[in-house]
Amino acid sequence: MADREAGAGLAAQGAPPGRRGSDYAALSRLIKRTRLLERRPGYYTVKIVVNLLLLAAGWTAFALLGPSWWQLAVAAFLALMFTQTAFLGHDAGHHQIAASKRVNGLLGRLHGNLLVGLSYGWWIAKHNRHHAHPNQVDRDPDIADGPIAFTEDHARRRRGAAGWLARHQAWLFFPMLLLEGINLHVASVRALLDRGRTGWPARLAEAALLAVHVIGYLAALFWVLPPLQAVCFLLVQQGLFGLYMGCSFAPNHKGMPIFAREDKIDFLRRQVLTSRNIRGHRLTDFMLGGLNYQIEHHLFPSMPRPNLRHAQEIVRSFCAQHHIDYHETGLFHSYAQVLRHLHAVGGPLRPELEY
């Protein structure tokens, strides 16, 4: 409830209601003058080629090394590369790579379904809902009631094992991320098998690519490695993949203000007030796939990844002029904020505390 009250208070920041819509239009004009929304085909060509070469190098090392416990190091490297590949699928999903929707869709399915084993169509549908209503209860699927409770209302409804999990979720958050890779694969398969979903030709194409990935991945593991090593490889690779993905996406919005479903917030403030940027340098940009510029990304989703850092000063200055909170912190501080939020959400279920 405190998060919702904070969200409602923040929504009142800045210009009167009648002028808020024009604020984003003014910011958009500033950004368009800089040409930062233009595609970067050279950057993405190099990025995709280098990423594919590194991914191929990882699988080549896997084949050449053969049965060996050193394969767990290869598994860790491939976890890194799976996440980097997923970042490219994310960029394609936002039409950052090419001007053509068809080309972006093709790149997204190749990187998502074929190379990583995630349903591009399912993820895009879910992610677009998140972008439209970040941190808004019952509208943002990323804070829907699930294994982790992101609001006190969700936590209070927990009973039994789910209640125990919510009470201790701050301590269990990072260990649970080790399961996120498997969870994404399972959710992808379930989405493609859902007969209620429309667009069966696209689903059929996605299912074929996903099947090639799953069959090829498992066949390679159990053909090259003894069963025990194959299982350990799978657990390490998928566990670290989920951990890396979760650690990249969690700082973006978790622990930031949460709005009630009925709250009316203009687009600019809805995106800025619920997002958190991560300070850093070019290594941070690489490791987080540009998601460290979350505010700029949410305001201009189609802006190519390398241009986000150049847009930051414009957006930050604009927010300061319009008295809109622009939240930026270090990576480890962001994790601390996330954990404090999760701990507070589970508070009503801890009998040793008074509420």
Output phi, psi for 328, to 5 deg: -140, 135
* CA separation for the pair 14, 325 (Å, rounded): 9
What does the domain layout of the chain look like in residue ranges? 2-349
User: Which candidate, 144, 147, 107, 100, places its Cα nearest to that of 124?
Assistant: 107
Question: Alpha-carbon torsion 163, 167, 170, 174, what sign?
Answer: negative
Assessment of whether the complete model's pTM goes beyond 0.85 = yes
> How far from the centroid of its chain's Cα atoms is residue 159's Cα?
29
- pLDDT tier, 15 (very low <50, low <70, confident <90, very high otherwise): very low
Residue found by looking up tokens 């930051």 in the block: 312
Q: What is the pLDDT of residues 273-296, one digit of tens each?
A: 999 999 999 999 999 999 999 999
Q: Give the pLDDT confidence of 198-229 residue by residue, as tens digits.
A: 677 888 999 999 999 999 999 999 999 999 99
Residue 214, both tokens: 């799953």
| Block residue for tokens 């699988």 | 59
